[in-house]
């Protein structure tokens, strides 16, 4: 699944892919937004961990859970 996180007052986004289910990511985002002093913590497929303070979250975009197709389709 592709994840895009926008941060206030920052021109760039955080983009990464994760194998976590969408429901788990939605729950983590909801918990982070419920606590203004908290943070959002997610990990990608390569083992990197991303930590963003809740007050800095502008948006979180969840991509599709389908795997990408490789090659040509006739």
73 within a domain of the structure (yes/no):
no
- Residues above pLDDT 70, as percent of the chain: 86
CB atoms under 10 Å from CB of 12, counted, come to 7
- Alpha-carbon distances, residue 27 vs 5, 41, 42 (angstroms): 15, 11, 11
Domains contained in the chain, number? 1
6 within a domain of the structure (yes/no):
yes
Domain housing 53: 2-62
- pLDDT exceeds 70 at position 74: no
pTM for the full predicted model: 0.79
C-alpha closest to that of 14 among 51, 54, 65, 55:
51
Average pLDDT, the chain: 88
| pLDDT tens digits for range 15-51 | 999 988 989 999 999 999 999 899 999 999 999 999 9
68 within a domain of the structure (yes/no):
no
pLDDT bracket for residue 69 (50, 70, 90): low
């Amino acid at each position: 699944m592709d994840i895009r996180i926008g941060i206030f007052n920052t021109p760039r986004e955080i983009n990464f892919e994760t194998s976590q289910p969408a429901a788990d990511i939605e729950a983590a985002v909801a918990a982070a937004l419920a606590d203004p002093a908290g943070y959002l913590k997610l990990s990608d497929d390569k083992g990197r961990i991303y930590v963003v303070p809740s007050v800095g979250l502008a948006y979180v975009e969840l991509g599709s859970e389908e795997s990408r197709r490789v090659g040509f389709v006739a």
